[in-house]
């Protein structure tokens, strides 16, 4: 006799207020106490990197990764070798992804402004790339070649002169070979075998081996994220990434196997990943748990995936799509899939989401790898104020002002009035000194 599979325990709510409260709790699933404790350790690591430089990097890598990374830098021929040794089908896939990501990001380059004012004065804004960017690529379970492409391509499109990648060595002393192959494809030449808060410190302060950069991007664990927050202000950072999440809005047209696969594709990342289904279809809400259970059978990451779904999974049955859109906006999901009859109309009603995947042929996975837009997206409700990593992350702008004699004379009275109202005597004087 074969035991029937247990069905996954996936919370299902019909009450909208209860659903909103649960979504709020899911959004805040990273514990505050854990963060405070980690922050103190991160500060100590950063201080040590600032004081001791490379010696700290080598000692901390030996302590945390069990490998003495000497030399810190990966010889460039190893990148070319990793590419050569990468299986042909995977090289083709990486090339297609690289080409598509490049094509989309090229559209993001902002234009310079040059405006002529009423007196012939020139007012402008000029965009330029940062000189140096640091790219963090995690190790272990989250060491992904797609992370390399999604971070390196916008930097290259921006025109960053020097791109510095850091990634922890694996147990063999070498990073993930497909990560190295992707770096080669993306044109990264400078990679250091160091990860964690110590790698962020090296990029922010510089050491004898690793140059100080202007902006640091890339995902990481809690220590990496806290280190990025600590150095924010001395360098720019892309964002403070929390655990990943998907929210699916589905109506009666959605197929349970597809919804199940999409929820599982989020849950398999991390025990803290969140996967949420809002649906107007009672039938779908009833059939998705069994479809999940069926796909969990033999799943290579079944334990992680099940933990994520049982802790941070949720199904909500909504009266209509307006209710679903309102709940989704409370959560402000990183990834939002619209498996509904008219996804464009629903997308218009959505205020807050990192990326929206429209219709039945757009599983999140196409966006994760190769659709074109960036897969680095705002988590934990930060889509209220942030968007995807972009070419602009690696640019900064400078204002340009050139007044002429006429413009100065025409505005002098107002500048003097404002300066005097603020008690700034020399501000007024700097204008008076230039009048005839």
The binder of its own copies chosen from 110, 281, 340, 341 (CB under 8 A): 110
Catalytic residue among 245, 334, 337, 364: 334
Q: Which of 80, 113, 208, 283 binds its own copies (CB under 8 A)?
A: 113
Are the C-beta atoms of residues 230 and 245 closer than 8 Å to each other? no
Give the footprint of its own copies on residues 190-249 (CB under 8 A): 214-215, 229, 232-233, 235-236, 240
* Count of CA atoms in the C-beta half-sphere (13 A) of 36: 3
CB within 8 Å of 436: residues ≥ 6 apart: 409
Subset of residues 292 to 321 that bind its own copies, contact rule: CB under 8 A: 295, 299-301, 305
84 versus 131: smaller Cβ distance to its own copies: 131
Measure the CA–CA gap between 436 and 434, rounded to whole angstroms. 7
Considering only 73-81, 143-151, 195-203, 317-325, which stretch makes contact with its own copies by CB under 8 A?
143-151
By the rule CB under 8 A, 174 interacts with its own copies:
no
Which of the 8 DSSP states describes residue 376? -
Q: Does 145 bind its own copies (CB under 8 A)?
A: yes
Whose Cβ is closer to its own copies: residue 319's or residue 422's? Answer: 422
Element (H, E) at 164: strand 162-166
Q: Which of 335, 337, 364, 375 is catalytic?
A: 335
CA 393, CA 225: separation in Å to the nearest integer? 17
Site for its own copies in 372-391 (CB under 8 A): 372-374, 377-378, 382-388, 390
Is residue 162 within the footprint of its own copies (CB under 8 A)? no
| Residues contacting 72, CB < 8 A, separation 6+ | 54, 57, 58, 192, 193, 194, 209, 210
Nearer to its own copies, 13 or 132 (CB): 132
Q: Which stretch binds its own copies (CB under 8 A): 1-9, 192-200, 255-263, 277-285?
A: 255-263
Provide the token pair at 218.
């890339």
334 is catalytic: yes
Residue 50 binds its own copies (CB under 8 A): no
Q: Which is nearer to its own copies, 73 or 396 (CB)?
A: 396
Query: Could you tell me the strand order of the sheet in which 162-166 lies?
Result: 190-192, 162-166, 132-136, 215-217, 236-237
CB of 275 to its own copies, least distance (A): 10
Sites for its own copies among residues 325-364 (CB under 8 A): 343-344, 347, 350-351, 353-364
Candidates 56, 61, 79, 144; binder of its own copies (CB under 8 A) is 144
- In 212-320, alpha helices (H): 222-231, 256-267, 282-296, 302-312
CA separation for the pair 411, 391 (Å, rounded): 37
SS3 200: helix
| Catalytic residue ranges | 334-335
């Amino acid at each position: 006799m074969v035991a029937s599979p247990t069905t996954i325990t996936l919370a299902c709510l019909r009450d909208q207020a209860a659903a909103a409260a649960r979504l709020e709790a899911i959004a805040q699933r990273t514990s505050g106490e854990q963060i405070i404790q980690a922050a103190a350790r991160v500060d100590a690591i950063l201080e040590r990197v600032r004081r001791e430089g490379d010696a700290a990097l080598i000692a901390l890598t030996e302590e945390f990764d069990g490998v003495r990374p000497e030399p810190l830098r990966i010889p460039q021929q190893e990148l070319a070798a990793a590419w050569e040794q990468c299986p042909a089908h995977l090289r083709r896939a990486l090339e297609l992804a690289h080409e598509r990501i490049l094509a989309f990001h090229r559209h993001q380059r902002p234009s310079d402004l040059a405006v002529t004012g009423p007196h012939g004065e020139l007012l402008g804004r000029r965009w330029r790339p940062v000189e140096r960017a640091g790219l963090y690529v995690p190790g272990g379970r989250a060491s992904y070649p797609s992370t390399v492409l999604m971070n390196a391509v916008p930097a290259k499109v921006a025109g960053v002169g020097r791109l510095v990648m850091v990634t922890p060595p694996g147990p063999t002393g070498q990073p993930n070979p497909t990560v190295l192959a992707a770096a080669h494809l993306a044109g990264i030449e400078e990679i250091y075998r160091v990860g964690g808060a110590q790698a962020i410190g090296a990029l922010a302060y510089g050491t004898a081996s690793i140059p100080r950069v202007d902006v640091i991007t890339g995902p990481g664990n809690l220590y990496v994220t806290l280190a990025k927050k600590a150095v924010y202000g001395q360098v720019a950072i892309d964002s403070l990434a929390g655990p990943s999440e998907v929210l699916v809005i589905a109506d009666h047209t959605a197929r349970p196997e597809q919804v199940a696969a999409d929820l599982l594709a989020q849950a398999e990342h991390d025990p803290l990943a969140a996967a949420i289904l809002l649906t107007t279809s009672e039938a779908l809400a009833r059939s998705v748990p069994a479809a999940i259970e069926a796909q969990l059978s033999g799943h290579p990451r079944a334990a992680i995936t099940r933990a994520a779904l049982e802790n941070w999974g949720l199904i909500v049955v909504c009266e209509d799509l307006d209710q679903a859109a309102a709940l989704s906006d409370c959560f402000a999901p990183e990834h939002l899939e619209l498996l509904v009859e008219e996804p464009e109309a629903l997308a218009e009603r959505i205020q807050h989401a990192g990326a929206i995947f429209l219709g039945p042929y757009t599983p999140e996975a196409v966006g994760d790898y190769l659709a074109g837009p960036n897969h680095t997206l705002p988590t934990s409700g930060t889509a209220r104020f942030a968007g995807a990593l972009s070419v602009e992350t690696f640019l900064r702008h400078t204002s340009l002002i050139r007044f002429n004699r006429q413009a100065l004379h025409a505005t002098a009275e107002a500048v003097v009035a404002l300066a005097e109202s603020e008690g700034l005597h020399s501000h007024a004087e700097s204008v008076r000194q230039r009048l005839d």
